[in-house]
Amino acid sequence: MSRPLFAQINLAALAANLARAREYAQGTQVLAVVKADAYGHGLMRVLPALEQADGLALLELDAAVALRERHYTRRILLLEGFFEDRELAEIAQRRLAIVVHHLDQVAMLERAALTRPLEVFVKVNTGMNRLGFAIGEIAGICERLSQCASVAALRLMTHLARAEDDDGLKEPLDAFESACSGLPYPRSIANSAGVVRYAEVGGDIVRPGIMLYGATPFPYESAQALGLQPVMTLRSQLIEVRELKANESVGYGATYTAARPHRIGVIACGYADGYPRIAPNGTPVLVCGTKVRMAGRVSMDMLSVDLTDVPDARIGSPVVLWGEGLPVDDVANAASTVGYELLCAVAPRVPFVTTRVGALDLEL
């Protein structure tokens, strides 16, 4: 038998989450965000589940080109636009839409001679302060671009810095409104948190990412409460079970010491698989469907858990590191990070298996 760790991707859950996003933002166009190889799920693997999206958004030009080569015909938006003149020919030829967030890009568009003019999303900085034009620049930029032979259509967009916070909407939305007032172009504002709060955020084109993968963008609202299902389940097995006597420790640095005698289980999954090494004692793990607590430090290829509550556990017992039965957000919370990071970080050595239906216990 091979090493029992694998990531199972549930395409039915992804399609259901996309439908859920549509319910939240009814009547809008939905661009499914698939950057970072679909948040670590594998872009080509998940593509069949995104058939109902109006388009895709990502920032890797090579992935966008690969989509066209796979005959993906709907809109593809490059979220960081382009970086050099020489990319524009390919962008035009492949019918890619671009975000424009910098004056250099405007100048490159003005001097380009393209086979086909582009759909351009003008990015407004509403307080994220990473990319985007200042409020007062937008009207002038749109004027310049509307004169530009390389531009077929304009959209206005922004990316919200705190859409998940109760008080995180008013300021940026007011800023966006003042930047765009009087401009007749469609608008794109909402990420996942903005989609859930669509009634407050509005816009014509939404850009959900994390919610499609069944994790929550909110610190205090679970994915389940939002009607989302986990798409990735990281599964493994116990590869060892042993007794720890009182005062014995487990793992590097002896960071966990048994207060009383109990069994521990060793799981085939470590930080070289993308499991966060920073996850402390007590981080939740499912063994035979029961939530148990991590004991000792995560090592490169293994981690250990306290089996006190699972007397039936044996070598070969099924383990879920995150996914069905254990939200990735719960593991992320324990590790002081967000579900996004864990999903994106699954290592290349972990095999992926795709299913179209729910809770399958695959035997590999």
Ligand X SMILES: *Cc1c(COP(=O)(O)O)cnc(C)c1O
User: Could you list the residues that contact ligand X (CB under 6 A)?
Assistant: 33, 35, 79, 159, 191-192, 207-210, 217
Nearer Cβ to ligand X (35/297): 35
Catalytic residue among 24, 35, 123, 198: 35
CA distance 212 to 47: 12
Nearest approach, Cβ of residue 35 and ligand X (Å): 6
Cβ-based neighbours of 184, under 8 Å, separated by 6 or more: none
CA distance 38 to 306: 34
Q: How far from chain centre, in Å, is Cα 211?
A: 8
In eight-state DSSP terms, residue 361 is -
Nearest approach, Cβ of residue 99 and ligand X (Å): 7
Nearest approach, Cβ of residue 224 and ligand X (Å): 17
Residue 252 is a catalytic residue: yes
Tally helices (H) and strands (E) across the chain.
12, 18
Nearest approach, Cβ of residue 295 and ligand X (Å): 33
Tokens standing for residue 157: 């967009």
Given the DSSP bridges, would you call strands 55-58 and 232-244 parallel, antiparallel or unpaired? unpaired
CA distance 166 to 330: 21
Residue 291 is a catalytic residue: no
Tokens standing for residue 341: 């990071």
Catalytic residue among 72, 245, 252, 275: 252
Which residue has the CB atom at the shortest distance from ligand X? 209
Q: Which residues belong to the active site?
A: 35, 252
